[in-house]
Chains A and B, each alone.
Chain A
Amino acid sequence: MTAIIDIRRVSKSFGGVVANKDVSMKVKAGTITGLIGPNGSGKTTLFNSIVGYHPIDEGSIQFEGEEISSFPVQQIARRGLLRTFQQTRIYGAMNGVENMLISLPHRKMSIWDALKTYTKEDYERADHLLEFVGLYEKRMLKSGDLSFGQQKLLEFAMALMNEPTCLLLDEPTAGINPTLINGLIDRLRRANTEFGITLFVIEHNMRVIMNMAETIYCLAHGEMLAEGTPDEIQNDQRVIDAYLGAH
């Protein structure tokens, strides 16, 4: 299977602090891949590097065979590589439906399309996806008033609306009521199997990631520590040590 994201020897420092050092990994197309590691291991920095939030110091990042490390965020997003944020970002002043509509893929819109009003199909697709994440009843409320968990679901739905090829999810279950996590896992899986979206997920919840992912990468202190299937990772002594804090 092809690697949809190919990360080779990526390094990134901020001032004197080394956030990522010589990190390499491949995300296989069509799969769910996990990224774990203790706090401060450089996971979010790696995500930010992939989506173009900042330039990298060394190395190469390829998406669908194209070198993207020199592209800014919008260009990468328009190639179908999206991300959700750890602190969940939505357009708080708009209601759920408006949030969905604005998330229509602009790369598929010419300026003339932009001058039209939203079509019936647009609304139907928005409703369908809101239903998919379970937010249909709350769709007309101001999204800034929704609870944190609801906002996370909305952000997820917005990402789906944008028809990505690959989605980077930064701690999708953090802050969610434990009784609702199963529902979220189910939806993530369906996004992968039904919509064919490759998922690359940062997670702290081991139960979640071990059940979802095909391959898992573990970072520690900004460097690659281990990689493998969930079974291999769970039994890897180095990973256990890293989490139990052998500083």
Chain B
Amino acid sequence: MDQILANIGLLFEFPIVNLKIILDGIMVGALFALAAYGLALVWGVMNVKNLAQGDLVICGGYVSWWLVQHGFPALLGVPVAFVVMWGIGWVVYKLVISRVIERDLFTSLLATFGLAIMIAQILNLLFGSDTQSVDLGYPTLHFADGLIDLPIAKLIGVLMAAVLATGVIIFMKSSRMGQAIRATAQDARAARVMGIDTEKVYAFTFSLNSAICGAAGAIIVMVWVIQPFYGIAYSIRAFVIVTAAGLGNLPGVIAAGLGIGAAEQYGAHIFGIGYQQAIAVLLLLLVLLFRLIQQRRNRQVLK
């Protein structure tokens, strides 16, 4: 308890520490937002709540890490992970997801949970349970007498995430497939009647989501660490963001993602690093409760 109070006191004594925490939080939050965007995409188009989202992210990270172990330049890992995970996503769609789309929601949830277990365990068997990361070897910027340090690698990571996100958004707005996806999300039956091949749209959407996760994972392995069992935490964070922001609310997803990143960093600072996982989950419960109370006012429930 004393430690907690001391930690809080530190925030007031040295206000600049707040900036550091927020900056750290925003940088990691940007990647949460990416994963959440993909989750919302799949959710909105196929009504599948993908509990394996975080594991796809970690998988992408390992793809990049493995390449680097074999001499690839690290930055190239991101586009390669994008492509590789696209393929893996396509396979997963054909084998599993396509068969659970039309079923009830618990089915898709449980199926993706099973997938999450499979992916995490396969990664564990292939790469071991140590945490891994890729050191870009870039310098770190220091501000405020060394109280704030900004690794250039992290900055690059955020930039890449922003570029990817922009690319996806432009694609969704202007390409034919992007329009087909949005039409299918609104009303699949109507889309089919208009001649859209919804099966192709679903496969494309899931593969795109998997690719986005892969790229995010490749960025994460450069700027933080990955481990086979970190996946569920990322899945939970993505869920928190989508639940808080709602589907189709892109600015909300970004804001929520950055917000969660900051909240987690604050929590880690105040309560200690061992609580980091707990905070992510507690945020989930808080957001659910909050939305419940919101719905109660209209005598509705959270479906």
Within 8 A of B (CB), among A44-75: 52-55, 72-73
A52: chain B residues at CB < 8 Å are 299
User: How would you classify the secondary structure of chain B's contact residues: helix, strand, loop or mixed?
Assistant: loop
A-B contacts at CB below 8 angstroms, number: 10
Minimal Cβ-Cβ distance residue in A for B297: A55
Binary interface profile of B, 272-303, with partner A (CB < 8 Å = 1, else 0)?
00000000000000000000000001111000
CA distance A54 to B298 in the complex (A): 6
Nearest Cβ in chain B — how far from A51, in angstroms? 11
Nearest Cβ in chain A — how far from B221, in angstroms? 45
A73: chain B residues at CB < 8 Å are 299
- How many chain B residues have a CB neighbour from A under 8 Å? 4
Minimal Cβ-Cβ distance residue in B for A55: B299
A54: chain B residues at CB < 8 Å are 298-300
CA distance A203 to B201 in the complex (A): 43
Minimal Cβ-Cβ distance residue in B for A53: B299
Instruction: Name, among B297, B299, B300, the residue most crowded by chain A CB atoms within 10 Å (CB to CB).
Output: B299
Minimal Cβ-Cβ distance residue in A for B300: A54
A55: chain B residues at CB < 8 Å are 297-299
Minimal Cβ-Cβ distance residue in B for A73: B299
CA distance A55 to B299 in the complex (A): 7
Nearest Cβ in chain B — how far from A85, in angstroms? 16
Nearest Cβ in chain A — how far from B258, in angstroms? 29
Binary interface profile of A, 113-125, with partner B (CB < 8 Å = 1, else 0)?
0000000000000
Nearest Cβ in chain B — how far from A97, in angstroms? 27
Nearest Cβ in chain B — how far from A11, in angstroms? 16
B300: chain A residues at CB < 8 Å are 54
A53: chain B residues at CB < 8 Å are 299
CA distance A54 to B301 in the complex (A): 12
Nearest Cβ in chain B — how far from A188, in angstroms? 29
CA distance A53 to B299 in the complex (A): 7
CA distance A147 to B298 in the complex (A): 34
Nearest Cβ in chain B — how far from A115, in angstroms? 27
Nearest Cβ in chain A — how far from B62, in angstroms? 45
Minimal Cβ-Cβ distance residue in B for A52: B299
Nearest Cβ in chain A — how far from B228, in angstroms? 41
Within 8 A of B (CB), among A149-177: none
Nearest Cβ in chain A — how far from B95, in angstroms? 31
B297: chain A residues at CB < 8 Å are 55
B298: chain A residues at CB < 8 Å are 54-55
B299: chain A residues at CB < 8 Å are 52-55, 72-73
Nearest Cβ in chain A — how far from B242, in angstroms? 22
Within 8 A of B (CB), among A21-61: 52-55
Nearest Cβ in chain B — how far from A103, in angstroms? 22
Minimal Cβ-Cβ distance residue in B for A71: B299
Minimal Cβ-Cβ distance residue in A for B296: A72
CA distance A72 to B295 in the complex (A): 13
CA distance A199 to B297 in the complex (A): 30
CA distance A116 to B91 in the complex (A): 53
CA distance A72 to B301 in the complex (A): 12
Nearest Cβ in chain B — how far from A156, in angstroms? 25
CA distance A52 to B298 in the complex (A): 10
Nearest Cβ in chain B — how far from A113, in angstroms? 27
Nearest Cβ in chain A — how far from B270, in angstroms? 39
CA distance A42 to B42 in the complex (A): 36
Within 8 A of A (CB), among B187-236: none
CA distance A55 to B298 in the complex (A): 6
Nearest Cβ in chain B — how far from A187, in angstroms? 32
CA distance A55 to B297 in the complex (A): 8
Nearest Cβ in chain A — how far from B200, in angstroms? 33
CA distance A214 to B133 in the complex (A): 80
Minimal Cβ-Cβ distance residue in A for B298: A54
CA distance A146 to B300 in the complex (A): 30
Ranked nearest first, the 8 interchain pairs of A and B with the lowest CB-CB distance are A54-B299, A72-B299, A54-B298, A55-B299, A55-B298, A53-B299, A52-B299, A73-B299
Contact residues of B with A, CB < 8 Å? 297-300
A-B contact list, 10 entries, CB within 8 Å:
A52-B299, A53-B299, A54-B298, A54-B299, A54-B300, A55-B297, A55-B298, A55-B299, A72-B299, A73-B299
Contact residues of A with B, CB < 8 Å? 52-55, 72-73
Given pairs A52-B299, A53-B299, 8 additional interface contacts (CB within 8 A): A54-B298, A54-B299, A54-B300, A55-B297, A55-B298, A55-B299, A72-B299, A73-B299
